Amino acid sequence: MHANIHNSYRDTREREEAHRIVGNERERERERGGEGGFEEAEEAKRRRKAHMGGAAGGDPLTKGASSHVWIACCAAELATRTFAMLLSIAGGIVMAKNKLDIYYNIGGIRFLAASARYTDIEAFVYLVYANSIAAAYCFLSMPAIFLVERRHCINALLFFMDQALAFLLLGAAASSTEASYIAKRGESKTQWSEVCSTIEHFCTRVGVSLFLTFTAVLVFIALGIMSAKRLFGSSATCAPSCQLSAHA
């Protein structure tokens, strides 16, 4: 009986020792796994810091290249706005100075046979005002293109105004084109006769003004595309550095 008790006690101690060994092995495995997870977390944290540092500071060479591209884009937009302003000024001046008086001499006395002024047709007046507004906007918007890198609201305002001015000029040019067509061809349904055969020089200058205005519309459409790309595009080309940081 004493031997049986001794054997049972020995078996119990062996089982406890085996459980202790297994427990120690599991504890060491958990410690090794914890150290590996900690190292992986530290490595991920270092990568995030490096990425944030690159987005904030950036590589000097890359940052310099982006700066040069941004300056080139600003210069291109400045040239485009200058071209649009000159077209609007020219279109408005040609129409505003468009006038014609035709006289006949009868017995040494001059009689006014025909007279034409741009103010005689409201569509032409609208065209002059629209060109004036567009030219003024282009002049005032030139300094703003250098501020879009810091102010998102200015970028959005330029985008909206570029679209608005394009539609303003398009409406003025379209209404003036209709009036010019009636003056050139007449309107048989209303029995309006054409008048350009009498005031040909006046109609020619109207055509020049319309050509300049429609060209200005195309330039404003290009400006709208440029401002839309800068406002909504995620490409690094012609995008402000603040926008690139946001996308990064």
Amino acid at 95: M
- Please give the distance of CA 100 from its chain centroid, rounded to a whole number: 43
Locate 107 and state its tokens.
Answer: 């017995």
Give residue-wise pLDDT tens across range 160-200: 999 999 999 999 999 999 988 888 887 767 667 778 878 88
Could you give the CA distance from residue 175 to residue 173 in angstroms, rounded to a whole number? 6
pTM of the model: 0.65
pLDDT-based confidence at 2, cuts 50/70/90?
very low
pLDDT-based confidence at 155, cuts 50/70/90?
confident
Maximum CA extent, the chain: 163
Locate 226 and state its tokens.
Answer: 């440029």
Q: Is the pLDDT at 141 greater than 80, yes or no?
A: yes
Q: Calculate the alpha carbon distances from 19 to 7, 22, 26, 32, 113 in Å.
A: 18, 5, 11, 20, 123
Q: What does the pLDDT read at residue 213?
A: 96
Q: What does the pLDDT read at residue 239?
A: 55
Q: What does the pLDDT read at residue 65?
A: 46
Highest mean pLDDT among 8-12, 143-147, 188-192, 219-223: 219-223
Q: Which of 116, 108, 87 is nearest to 212 (CA)?
A: 87
Could you give the CA distance from residue 24 to residue 227 in angstroms, rounded to a whole number? 67
Q: What is the signed CA dihedral for 228, 229, 232, 236, rounded to 10 degrees? A: -160
Q: Calculate the alpha carbon distances from 150 to 42, 117, 138, 223 in Å.
A: 35, 47, 20, 20
Q: What does the pLDDT read at residue 128?
A: 95
Could you give the CA distance from residue 107 to residue 104 in angstroms, rounded to a whole number? 10
List of E strands, 37-193? 99-106, 109-117
Give residue-wise pLDDT tens across range 91-111: 999 999 988 866 666 666 665
Q: What does the pLDDT read at residue 91?
A: 95
Could you give the CA distance from residue 209 to residue 131 in angstroms, rounded to a whole number? 10
Q: What does the pLDDT read at residue 226?
A: 87
Could you give the CA distance from residue 24 to residue 21 in angstroms, rounded to a whole number? 5
Give residue-wise pLDDT tens across range 205-244: 999 999 999 999 999 999 998 888 878 765 445 655 444 4
